Chain A
Amino acid sequence: MFDIDRWREIFQSISKNKLRSVMSGFTVAFAILLFTLLFGIVSGLSNSFKDAFADDAQNSMFVRVWKTTKPYKGLQTGRRIQLKNNDFDYVKDEYDGKIELLTARVNRNVNISYKNNQDNYSLRAVHPDHQFLEKTIIDEGRYINQRDLKEKAKVIVIGRLVKEDLFGEKPALWKRVNVNGISYQIIGIFSDEGGDNEERMTYMPITTAQMIYGNNDEINSINIGYNPDLSLDEAIAFGNKLERDLRKKLNIHPDDQSALRVQNMAEANKGVGSFMLALYFIVIFIGSGTLVAGIIGISNIMIFVIKERTKEFGIRKALGAQPSSIVGMVVQESVLITTIAGYLGLSLGTYILSQIGDSLEDYFITNPSVSPGIVIGATVVLILSGLIAGYVPAKRAAKIKPIVALRAD
């Protein structure tokens, strides 16, 4: 029930006893501030991790090659390793059940021109599955398909920014552009969450590129999307086996990390997963510790406050105050202080987090913030604790006989 006179009594009691109110409020505000900052920073960390992996599919593996650094079977060090189509086919045949997506990749730099506009761009010649491994988002038209591969079609898929460079606002789909002097048809325009560099990329069928640029069967890398049914451990085992098998096939020393490596997202995921889990445990531990400290703080202060006010309660009772009115007054005051203080701590915390924004990105903290759920949860906990912190000692104080209360100092 809303009772304006009760509120007046409470506001007076709070404002005329500022030190007392500020003291009890401070504990709560501080606890909530710490709580908010803590959760914010952890959310910042987890944002950074999410950003770091947003670009590519979570179940991807990359096979990359460089030069040998260990002699093996009479072969010299410093030998350049080259992947070829038959390596791709080997992977495809050998690990069929464990692979969901598979593509080879040839990287080139090309000059593309349309009418009077021209510039240099990176080109990736790929298989159709590349779209899903790179999370390429098709805005217009389509991606490369099997038929393009088979026909070695002169088609190209261009990034949003390439389209902007060459065509501006005008439509580009199905238009023809010159790629290093050869005419290609634009079959699709894409965007990518990986940033500007990704959107300045172009894709064409790998068969076309192999035919036109060198007429060979060389590839630069193999990208694999492992079967998502595999557990992280199974995926890691798969990656390790693949690495061993390919080194054997290409006559590389089994331990030559620099010659051929399989980069496996599963390993990173496993690391990140356990790291985040540990972090959340720590935060929940410290966070609830802070809250509990805040609750204990306000309870102690309320006990002290009520002791100090025993005589006042005695006077009020002599003047006709019922026990319920005393309890109600104290609880309402306690809840009011906790709520306001909690709100202040929360606002300050969110303000500090918003000020941090991107400035701590170097420390792997991006856009730290607290979710509304956590905020509401913490506030409810605080209001409840204010209620209990006020109720228990007030109930006891209200039970004291007026005559005893009046004698108190």
Chain B
Amino acid sequence: MIEIKKLHKSYPIGKDSLHVLKGIDLHIKEGEFVSIMGSSGSGKSTLLNIVGLLDEHDEGEYYLNGQLIKNLNEKKAAILRNKFLGFVFQSFNLISYKTALENVALPLYYKGIPRKERLKTAMEYLDKVGLKDWANHLPNELSGGQKQRVAIARALVTKPKVVLADEPTGALDSTTTDNVMDLLRDINNDGMTVFVITHEEEVAAQTKRIVRLKDGIIISDELTSKSKAV
């Protein structure tokens, strides 16, 4: 599903440049549940943003669903994101003036789905994350855990191939963290590829594969006990 070879990424800082990813090789197959761990600044978000087509890499190769990602313009990137990818962010990134339901329905709008169908599908996904009764509330009327569940419903509503989550539990307490991880596991059990960034060991332990990043290179890549349980 995701195939990365010798991937490099630098950020220009003034005249210098900061070499963040220094040759990443990573292969994630369809249906995997992978977490990326590493200390702050190790390049986790950079990697996920490149995978999510929100940013571009400098060197190396990246195949998404078998397609080589190179010199994408914004329009093509937008189409691929809409078709293959779902995002969950640490800060939720819900649109503040839209209700939970409208937030969830928004990716379907960009997919060109008619409004009625959009709202119906969005409601189904809100129901899946247990927030049917909160459909008409604005984000600021929801708790952190509820907001993240809305964001997850929004990430899933287009039935993407891959769900990318950048510290989805970073802003949540331990109970809601467990809720969110349970949700991600259910999604994965339904066959979706899930790619999570975290720096919490307990969170990573609930995934099936842990990739550890340090200073822009992968220092370990191993399966967890969860994967063996299947």
List chain A positions with a Cβ less than 8 A from chain B: 4-5, 8-9, 12-13, 16-17, 311-312, 314-325, 398-399, 401-403, 406
Nearest CB on A from B10, distance (A): 15
Whether A319 touches B81, Cβ cut-off 8 Å, given contacts A5-B109, A13-B97, A17-B97, is yes
In the complex, what residues of B have CB within 8 A of residue A399's CB?
Answer: 74
Nearest CB on A from B8, distance (A): 17
Question: At the interface, yes or no: B55 with Cβ under 8 Å from chain A?
Answer: yes
Count of residues in B whose CB is under 8 Å from the partner chain: 27
In the complex, what residues of B have CB within 8 A of residue A398's CB?
Answer: 74
Contact assessment for A401 and B106 in the assembled complex, using a CB-CB cutoff below 8 Å: no
* Closest 5 pairs between A and B when the two form their complex, measured CB to CB: A320-B82, A16-B97, A320-B110, A403-B54, A319-B107
In angstroms, Cα B79 to Cα A317, docked, is 10
Contact assessment for B74 and A322 in the assembled complex, using a CB-CB cutoff below 8 Å: yes
Contact assessment for A320 and B54 in the assembled complex, using a CB-CB cutoff below 8 Å: no
In angstroms, Cα B164 to Cα A403, docked, is 14
In angstroms, Cα B110 to Cα A316, docked, is 9
The contact string, 1 if C-beta is below 8 Å from chain A, for chain B 53-88, is: 011000000000000000000110011011100010
Question: At the interface, yes or no: B49 with Cβ under 8 Å from chain A?
Answer: yes
Out of A16, A312, A320, which one reaches B81, CB within 8 Å?
A: A320
A-B contact pairs, 7 of them (CB 8 A): A13-B97, A17-B97, A311-B93, A318-B87, A320-B79, A321-B110, A324-B75
In angstroms, Cα B54 to Cα A316, docked, is 12
Question: At the interface, yes or no: B98 with Cβ under 8 Å from chain A?
Answer: yes
In angstroms, Cα B138 to Cα A17, docked, is 14
Question: At the interface, yes or no: B154 with Cβ under 8 Å from chain A?
Answer: yes
Question: At the interface, yes or no: B6 with Cβ under 8 Å from chain A?
Answer: no
In angstroms, Cα B118 to Cα A4, docked, is 14
Whether A401 touches B54, Cβ cut-off 8 Å, given contacts A320-B110, A322-B75, is yes
Contact assessment for B54 and A322 in the assembled complex, using a CB-CB cutoff below 8 Å: no
Nearest CB on B from A370, distance (A): 38
Contact assessment for A401 and B78 in the assembled complex, using a CB-CB cutoff below 8 Å: no
* CB-CB nearest in chain A for B98: A12
In angstroms, Cα B106 to Cα A9, docked, is 10
Contact assessment for B82 and A319 in the assembled complex, using a CB-CB cutoff below 8 Å: yes
In angstroms, Cα B49 to Cα A403, docked, is 7
List chain B positions with a Cβ less than 8 A from chain A: 49, 52, 54-55, 74-75, 78-79, 81-83, 87, 89, 93-95, 97-98, 102, 106-107, 109-111, 115, 154, 158
* CB-CB nearest in chain A for B55: A403
Nearest CB on A from B216, distance (A): 17
Whether A8 touches B115, Cβ cut-off 8 Å, given contacts A319-B154, A401-B55, is yes
In angstroms, Cα B74 to Cα A5, docked, is 22
In angstroms, Cα B102 to Cα A250, docked, is 96
Contact assessment for B95 and A312 in the assembled complex, using a CB-CB cutoff below 8 Å: yes
In the complex, what residues of B have CB within 8 A of residue A325's CB?
Answer: 110
Contact assessment for B78 and A315 in the assembled complex, using a CB-CB cutoff below 8 Å: no
* CB-CB nearest in chain A for B75: A322
Nearest CB on A from B228, distance (A): 34
Contact assessment for A321 and B78 in the assembled complex, using a CB-CB cutoff below 8 Å: yes
In angstroms, Cα B98 to Cα A350, docked, is 38
In angstroms, Cα B103 to Cα A316, docked, is 10
Given pairs A320-B83, A402-B54, 13 additional interface contacts (CB within 8 A): A17-B97, A314-B93, A316-B106, A317-B81, A319-B81, A319-B87, A319-B110, A320-B79, A322-B79, A325-B110, A401-B55, A403-B55, A406-B93
In angstroms, Cα B110 to Cα A318, docked, is 11
In angstroms, Cα B230 to Cα A371, docked, is 80
In the complex, what residues of B have CB within 8 A of residue A5's CB?
Answer: 109, 115
Q: Which of A5, A17, A315, A320 has the most CB of B within 10 A?
A: A320
In angstroms, Cα B106 to Cα A8, docked, is 12
In the complex, what residues of A have CB within 8 A of residue B115's CB?
Answer: 4-5, 8
In the complex, what residues of A have CB within 8 A of residue B79's CB?
Answer: 320, 322
In angstroms, Cα B93 to Cα A318, docked, is 10
Nearest CB on B from A309, distance (A): 10
In angstroms, Cα B47 to Cα A273, docked, is 75
In the complex, what residues of B have CB within 8 A of residue A12's CB?
Answer: 97-98, 102
